[in-house]
Amino acid sequence: MADSAPATAEKLPKDLAAEKGLVNVQVDGTWVQVPAGTRMIEVCKIAEKEVPHYCYHTKLSSPGNCRMCLVQMGMPNRPPPGESPHYEDDGYQQISWMPRPVIACANTVTENMGIRTTGELVEECRNGVMEFLLINHPLDCPICDQAGECSLQEFSVEHGRGSSRFEEMKVKKPKNVEIGPRIRLDDERCIMCSRCIRFMDEVADDPVLGFIDRGTHTTLTVHPGRRLDNNYSLNTADICPVGALTSNDFRFQMRVWFLKETKSIDVNCGTGCNTVIWTRGNEVFRITPRENNEVNSSWMPDSHRLNFHYLHAETRLGDPFVKIGSKHEISDWPGAIAKTAEELSRFKGEEIAVIGSGRMTNEELYLLRRLADTLETDLLSLVPRVGESDGKLISADRNPNTSGAKLIWASRNPYAKLESIRQGVVTGKIKALIVFYEDLLGDAQFKADDLANLDFLVSNHILTNKTAKASDVVLPGAGFAEKRGSLVNITGRLQRLNQAISPPPGAMDDWEILRDLVKALSPDEPSRYLLEEVFGEIADEVEEFEDLTLSKISDLGIPIVETGESIPLLESEKARITAGEIVG
């Protein structure tokens, strides 16, 4: 012991770090060990020192054009020829500080380097850059949608002057320009960080944006004859540090400081992009992507993020309906559930079929199977929804929970029996049909005449549709922002859906509807009061869910099964990280 201790003590910090493949960097007087070649701004992030920046984005290349991240850099003295470097008592070489600042976003670190993120030089640089950025910036904050989440506002509090010294006329540029169907451009607000240009070029593969003119007249614009109509265009509004690019959909809807953020996931395709749902009161105002490097990086397709307005549609079902004669009458929940159970008990098991949806959560699918078991029918199927993958984030499977259905139903193809159910309805072999979350005349491709063959049809919907009109009992359910639950995406990652708002007063959470139906049909069923109890039952039954709970899923989800599927956008991003183009 005594012999080996001095040997390690004699080792210099640089050697200790090199053993782990790291280098020592001093940030504001504190030494940290980081991998060689890490960018200075990332080192400062590790050392928990803030470096203000506009143009730098971890998922994009670093042109270093905003100049806001200037820091002071120091390197060890180079010894005269023939001399070996001198190490201080603490084992580090003395750092000589450079008289000029460097940008932290595009420079990498080496052994014994020093970074100062504070001090007179750095502060003066930031103040100067801020003043230049604000020279031509319009006083638009009261009408700007970015206000409240604007980097320019935030940093001008710390580094701004408070009042302008600029006495000349501000440069006029185009304002309120519609450069695409979903994006609006205000060139006066633009600070020329080029994040949007790089995003469209590097991630969306649709380089339609660019700068024209020079100096203070530099203007962001769209290529002549082209529009910013890519399905990923709204991501440019997300990464715009100012209010130059704003969303048409969210335009003047609500100030962001009123909105409550709920972490959730997207349910429009099998990828299951991680999202934030922004709500005020009981209304969803917008949905933005949330960073998850295993699912959607930092991006999200426009078609998916804008698909929430139906939650507040006029056609939303607000009460359970029971058909009396040929007319639907508003009922109460106990009445509608009792009526359904009573009608269903008239039929034999083989006369009943159950159709569910790949948009349902694991918990709902589990209870749907319990319902089919209680009715002693094996005619249980989901409705397939197949599109084309866009080679980025939209998967070919447009159902968000096919992988979950495979696990919960222990079935290789949860869509297999749809065709035989359809045939059974046509021939009249199936007399009662239970439909959850699907319009039979839509993706399930039933015909209106077929439904007339049925003796009893009970369906659950969010919006009124033709299936609901043909149903004997209609049970209004909850939308994706109105319920909790878990889903498994195409790569086999278990993710959590969180409740952002509550369903309309007369509607009910879908798992509760299923629970009540099962309980009404078979009083011996255990009483379930919490969604956690249903998840617990799944965990007991399905091997992949073993030892899991809803809260253990966490915000970023956990991989539970190997499906062999991958997300194309992540693959291309991994290649760029390996090539050193981006930090990732």
Partner 1 sequence: MATVKVKRPKLHWYEHLYLPAILKGLIITLKHAMESLRGKAQGGKSLATSGLGVTMQYPEQKWDDQLPDYYRGVPALVTDEQKRERCVSCQLCEFICPPKAITITPGEIQSEDPWAKVEKAPQKFDIDMIRCIYCGMCEEVCPEQAIFLRQDYAMTGTTRGEMVNDKKRLYEIGGIREGLVNKWNELK
Beta carbon nearer to partner 1, 57 or 184 = 184
Report H helices in 186-325.
195-198, 234-239, 302-305
Complex with partner 1: residue 137 or 431, whichever CB lies closer: 137
Closer to partner 1 at the Cβ: 74 or 138? 138
* Closest separation in Å from C-beta 242 to partner 1: 16
- In the bound state with partner 1, the residue whose beta carbon lies nearer, of 170 and 574, is 170
Size of the site for partner 1 (CB under 8 A): 17
Residue 529 found at the interface with partner 1 (CB under 8 A): no
Q: Least distance in Å: CB of 143 to partner 1?
A: 4
Mapped onto helix, strand or coil, the DSSP state of residue 257 is: helix
The one-letter code for the residue type at 389 is: S
Alpha-carbon gap, residue 403 to 389, rounded angstroms: 17
Distance CA 194, CA 191 (A): 8
Using rule CB under 8 A, residue 139 touches partner 1? yes
Which has the closest alpha carbon to 233: 399, 392, 459? 392
In single-letter form, the type of residue at position 272 comes to G
How many CB atoms are located within 10 Å of the residue 40 CB? Answer: 25
* Least distance (Å) between residue 169 CB and partner 1: 7
SS3 543: helix
Pairing relationship of beta strands 113-116 and 70-76 according to DSSP bridges: antiparallel
Considering the complex, state which of residue 106 and residue 254 has its C-beta at the smaller distance from partner 1: 254
175 lines the binding site for partner 1 (CB under 8 A): yes
Please report, for residues 221, 247, 552, the alpha-carbon distance to residue 225 in angstroms, rounded to integers and kept in the order given.
11, 21, 51
Asked if 253 touches partner 1 (CB under 8 A), the answer is yes
From candidates 252, 325, 547, 579, binder to partner 1 by CB under 8 A: 252
Nearest to 93 by CA among 79, 108, 72, 107: 79
Say whether residue 254 binds partner 1 (CB under 8 A): yes
Site for partner 1 contains 156 (CB under 8 A) = no
Among 1, 169, 530, 579, binds partner 1 (CB under 8 A): 169
Q: How far is the CB of 462 from partner 1 (least distance, A)?
A: 25
Which of 47, 147, 454, 556 binds partner 1 (CB under 8 A)? It is 147
Report DSSP letters for 487-531, one per residue.
EE-TT-EEEEE---SPPPTT---HHHHHHHHHHHH-TTSPP--SH
258 binds partner 1 (CB under 8 A): yes
Site stretch for partner 1 (CB under 8 A), options 135-143, 212-220, 438-446, 470-478: 135-143
Using the structure block, give the residue that is written with the tokens 């508003």: 330
Task: Please report how the helices 510-521 and 333-344 are oriented relative to each other, as an axis angle in degrees rounded to 10.
Answer: 50
Q: Which of these segments, 253-261, 431-439, 521-529, 556-564, binds partner 1 (CB under 8 A)?
A: 253-261
Closest CA to 474 of 360, 323, 348: 323
| 580 is a contact residue toward partner 1 (CB under 8 A) | no
Chain center to CA of 445: 31
Beta bridge partners of residue 274, listed in sequence order: 265
Asked if 184 and 177 count as a contact pair (C-beta separation under 8 A), the reply is yes
Ramachandran category for residue 110: left, alpha or beta (phi over 0 → left; psi -120 to 50 → alpha): beta
Side chain identity at residue 72, one-letter code: Q
Q: Which is nearer to partner 1, 255 or 466 (CB)?
A: 255
Nearest distance in Å: CB 280, partner 1: 11
Q: Which tokens in the block code for residue 348?
A: 């034999």
| 119, 138, 506, 568: which one binds partner 1 (CB under 8 A) | 138
Least Cβ distance, residue 168 to partner 1 (angstroms): 12
Say how far apart CA 557 and CA 52 lie, in whole Å: 30
91 near partner 1, rule: CB under 8 A: no
DSSP track, 274-287: EEEEEEETTEEEEE
**Whole-number minimum distance, CB 251 to partner 1, in Å?**
7
Q: Determine if 216 is a binding residue for partner 1 (CB under 8 A).
A: no
Is residue 171 near partner 1 by the rule CB under 8 A? no
Q: Which residue, 147 or 454, is less far from partner 1 as judged by CB?
A: 147
CA 567 to centroid of chain Cα atoms:
14
Q: Which stretch binds partner 1 (CB under 8 A): 134-142, 353-361, 392-400, 436-444?
A: 134-142
Min. distance of Cβ 281 from partner 1 in angstroms?
11
Report the residue from 251, 346, 348, 447 that binds partner 1 according to the rule CB under 8 A.
Answer: 251
255 is a contact residue toward partner 1 (CB under 8 A): yes
* 176 binding partner 1? (CB under 8 A): yes
Interaction of residue 164 with partner 1, rule CB under 8 A: no
Distance, CA of 267 to CA of 484 (rounded, Å) = 12
What are the residues binding partner 1 (CB under 8 A)? 138-139, 141-143, 147, 169-170, 175-176, 251-255, 257-258
